[in-house]
A and B are shown apart, each in its own frame.
Chain A
Amino acid sequence: MQQLTNPHEYPGKLIVVEGIDGSGKSTQAFLLQQWLQSKGLRVFFTEWNSSLLVKSTTKQAKKKNRLTPTTFSLLHCTDFADRLMYRVIPPLKAGMIVIADRYAFTAFARDSARGVEPQWVRQLYSFAIKPDIAFYFRVPVDISLARISSARAQLKYYEAGMDTGLSKDINECFRLFQGEVIRQYDLMTPEFGLQVMDATETIDVQQKRVRAIAQEMLADYHPDGNNRKQTRAREGGSHV
């Protein structure tokens, strides 16, 4: 199970967007999806934390603030595994383009920032498949904070890392915690070949670059060409 570091063999393509809250990654993912669809490509969008299996537990546990760094990590990994099996791999097998808003790298950054062993989380997610591109929208913590504050009234407890006890002031805690998350993303940029995007640029400038990079990666993508043959060749294989 070292699939996160070896290229996958599905006919589809997996594009991942990563970054802290308020980095603008979801906006960029949405614009990329619109563009790809306008070219007649079949695109499937999936985001973190959407699987039914653990949704209610996560919600309940978050409400009671019962989660420790380790249970937080494990619950999200369970959710991720469920999502991977049902929402990511099947469309990739069918030759579709999958855009994932947050992927395993979110866990590596977030859980390590909470004090879990970085090597442990990486091993935990070793069943994940390697994305064809992983964009990392890098933004200073103050800009992210300003963007979130203008969009909604309050920061969320876990988003601000209040469980870490870094500060009793929620804004200050967000700064400290997300600052550590950014440091963790920086550490894994060379490790996993993340495509770093300057998320302080305007939306259209960023999107132009995103599309150029995506286009280059899609050069060998032929959704209706030799897909069928490839799928058949791999039917015997399993991923876990």
Chain B
Amino acid sequence: MSGEVTSTKKRFLGLGLPYVDQEHLLGRLIVIEGSDGVGRSTQIRMLRNWLEVQGAGVVETGWTRSQLMSHTIDLAKEGHKMNNVTFNLLYATDFADRLEHELIPALRAGFIVLADRYVYTAFARARVRDTATKWLQNLYGFALQPDLVLYLKARVDTIVNRILASGELDYWEAGMDQNPGFDPYDSLMRYQRKLLREFGKLAKENNFHLINANRNIESIQLDLRRAIATHLGWTLTDDVLLPNEMAGGAPALATA
């Protein structure tokens, strides 16, 4: 039956939020991970639309979008004033703000939360920067364990080409903080290669669902839909998998 979202018992990654009731988090937390330039936002936009057509309520969340901290993070990035500890603490504060003010209320209300990156992004970045990983894992102990992690896996050249084409190459994206004296392109290649390696390890440790992201948008989308539908126990008919823009016609109505 499509559209239906059955509840699951949520757990925290580590030492959680003792003052939060985790019994009644009815929705599902679905995470899309993947390097910069892998096309996450396009895929999430399509997924959202598809899920809504199926009749499921969707809330999207990103990695640095909270009202509380975005400004401070931008400010700190501009001045490069952060060391590893403050860098991670700022991101964690931002995430905690969103978790408690957006994610948890949405899950309580039975929404599917589509997270554009999650704590694993922080873990991968920190591992590249050699920040004490044990400390970081404790730090994010308050994060909810996702119900499903979809990892868009691409080759380093695919990623680098997309980052360059987007025109968004900057100091942080290129990992210049770790490669002083490097030319931005060399630094970018080096940084993205290291990130991919760490993501690969995280994928194994945390049972990510791998999606080959070296293909065209539609093929990736179809794999994502299949993984989510399977996870939710929906029947895998074309009707379920291919409504709206991918069916090539008018959006199909959700059918049970």
Contact = CB atoms under 8 A, between A and B. Distances in A.
B15 A85 contact: no
Nearest to A82: B86
A124 B138 contact: yes
A71 B142 contact: no
B114 interface: no
A196 interface: no
Contacts of B97: 66, 68, 71
B83 A85 contact: yes
Interface stretch (B67-75, B144-152, B183-191): B67-75
A123 B138 contact: yes
Interface string B74-118: 001000011111100110110011001100000000000000000
A80 to B, nearest CB: 9
A116 interface: yes
B141 A120 contact: yes
A126 B89 CA distance: 13
A56 B86 contact: no
B71 A120 contact: no
Nearest to B14: A120
Given A54-B72, A119-B15, A74 B85 contact: no
A1 B88 CA distance: 15
Contacts of B100: 68, 70-71
Interface residues of B, dominant DSSP: helix
A71 B16 contact: no
B86 A85 contact: yes
A75 interface: yes
B138 A120 contact: yes
B131 interface: yes
B18 interface: yes
B72 A66 contact: no
Interface in A110-142: 114-117, 119-120, 123-124, 126-127
Contacts of A69: 17, 19
A77 interface: yes
A27 interface: no
Contacts of A77: 89
Contacts of A85: 83, 85-86
Contacts of B132: 1, 127, 240
Q: Is the interface of A mostly helix, strand, loop or mixed?
A: helix
Contacts of B96: 68, 70-71, 74
A123 B135 CA distance: 7
B135 A74 contact: no
B82 to A, nearest CB: 8
Given A57-B71, A70-B96, A78 B84 contact: no
Contact of B89 (A70, A78, A116, A119): A78
Interface in B125-182: 131-132, 134-135, 138-139, 141-142
Contact of B101 (A66, A75, A114, A126): A66
Contacts of A127: 85, 132, 135
B79 to A, nearest CB: 9
B68 A116 contact: no
A163 to B, nearest CB: 11
Query: Taking each of A71, A75, A120, which has the highest tally of chain B beta carbons within 10 Å of its own beta carbon?
Result: A71
B66 to A, nearest CB: 9
Contacts of B82: 53
Interface string A1-19: 1000000000000000000
Given A116-B18, A117-B16, A56 B72 contact: yes
A166 interface: no
A214 interface: no
Nearest to B71: A57
Contacts of A123: 15, 135, 138-139
B68 A70 contact: no
A115 B86 contact: no
A180 to B, nearest CB: 13
B17 A70 contact: yes
Interface string A53-71: 1101100010000101111
A116 B15 CA distance: 9
Given A74-B92, A240-B83, 13 more contacts: A53-B76, A57-B68, A70-B100, A71-B100, A78-B89, A81-B86, A116-B19, A120-B142, A123-B135, A124-B138, A127-B85, A240-B85, A240-B132
Closest A-B pairs by Cβ, 3 of them = A74-B93, A123-B138, A78-B89
